[in-house]
Amino acid sequence: MVAGVERMVKQTKSSGETELTCAVAGQVTAAATQVAARERRDSEVIRAGVAAGRIVIPANRHHVGLVPMGIGRELSVKINANLGTSALAGDLSQELAKLETAVAYGADTVMDLSTGPDAARVRQAIIAQSRVPVGTVPIYDAAGRVEDTRDLTAELLLEVIAEQAAQGVDYMTVHAGLLRRHIPLARRRLLGIVSRGGAILAQWMESHRCENPLYERFDDLLAICREHDVTLSLGDGLRPGCLADASDEAQFAELDALGALVRRCRQAGVQAMVEGPGHIPLDQIAMNMERERETCDDAPFYILGPVVTDCAPGYDHITSGIGAALGAMHGAAMLCYVTPKEHLGLPNARDVRDGVIAYRIAAHAADIAKGIPGARDRDDAISRARREFDWEGQFALALDPAKARELRQEALAESRGAAPAAAPADAQAPATAAAPVKAGSDEHYCTMCGPKFCSMRVFRNLDGDRKD
Site for a copy of itself in 426-455 (CB under 8 A): 426, 446-450, 452-455
Our finding on whether 46 is near a copy of itself (CB under 8 A) is no
Q: CA 196 to CA 187: how far, in whole Å?
A: 16
Our finding on whether 376 is near a copy of itself (CB under 8 A) is yes
Q: Which residue stretch of 39-47, 48-56, 161-169, 361-369 sits at the interface with a copy of itself (rule: CB under 8 A)?
A: 361-369
**Binding test (CB under 8 A) with a copy of itself, winner from 52, 191, 253, 437:** 191
Q: How far is the CB of 217 from a copy of itself (least distance, A)?
A: 22
Q: Which of residues 265-324 bind a copy of itself (CB under 8 A)?
A: 281-283, 308-315, 317-319, 321-322
Which residue lies nearer to a copy of itself by CB, 204 or 302? Answer: 204
DSSP 307: B
Q: How far is the CB of 258 from a copy of itself (least distance, A)?
A: 19
Burial 212-247 (b: 16+ CB within 10 A, else e): bbbbebbebbbebbbbbbbbbbbbbbbbbbbbebbb
**Binding test (CB under 8 A) with a copy of itself, winner from 1, 380, 438, 442:** 380
Q: Which residue stretch of 30-38, 45-53, 170-178, 420-428 sits at the interface with a copy of itself (rule: CB under 8 A)?
A: 420-428
The values of phi and psi at residue 276, to 5°, are -135, 175
Which residue lies nearer to a copy of itself by CB, 22 or 280? Answer: 280
Return the amino acid letter for 155: E
H-type helices in 302-348, by residue range?
316-329
Return all residues near 268 (Cβ < 8 A) that are at least 6 apart. Answer: 219, 222, 223, 225, 226
**Binding test (CB under 8 A) with a copy of itself, winner from 358, 372, 389, 433:** 358
Our finding on whether 145 is near a copy of itself (CB under 8 A) is no
DSSP 189: S
Q: How far is the CB of 156 from a copy of itself (least distance, A)?
A: 15
Q: CB–CB of 1/44 below 8 Å?
A: yes
Which residue lies nearer to a copy of itself by CB, 166 or 445? Answer: 445
Q: CB–CB of 242/279 below 8 Å?
A: yes
Our finding on whether 143 is near a copy of itself (CB under 8 A) is yes
Q: How far is the CB of 134 from a copy of itself (least distance, A)?
A: 19
Which residue lies nearer to a copy of itself by CB, 17 or 245? Answer: 245
- Reference 123, options 80, 155, 159, 168; nearest CA is 168
Q: How far is the CB of 330 from a copy of itself (least distance, A)?
A: 10
Which residue lies nearer to a copy of itself by CB, 42 or 206? Answer: 206
Q: CA 397 to CA 402: how far, in whole Å?
A: 11
Which residue lies nearer to a copy of itself by CB, 30 or 393? Answer: 393
Our finding on whether 190 is near a copy of itself (CB under 8 A) is yes
For residues 192 to 231, the per-residue mask of contacts with a copy of itself, x marking binding by CB under 8 A and - elsewhere, is: xxxxx-xxx-xx--x-------------------------
Cα angle for residues 375, 358, 49 (degrees, 5° grid): 45
Q: Which residue stretch of 26-34, 39-47, 226-234, 365-373 sits at the interface with a copy of itself (rule: CB under 8 A)?
A: 365-373
Q: How far is the CB of 279 from a copy of itself (least distance, A)?
A: 8
Q: Which of residues 93-132 bind a copy of itself (CB under 8 A)?
A: 115
| 134-136 and 231-234 beta bridge pairing | unpaired
**Torsion from C-alpha of 97, 98, 102, 108, nearest 10 degrees:** -100
| 109-112 and 78-83 beta bridge pairing | parallel
Which residue lies nearer to a copy of itself by CB, 23 or 285? Answer: 285
Q: CA 362 to CA 360: how far, in whole Å?
A: 5
Rounded to the nearest 5 percent, the helix, strand and coil shares of the chain are 45, 10, 45
Bridge partners of 304?
Answer: 336
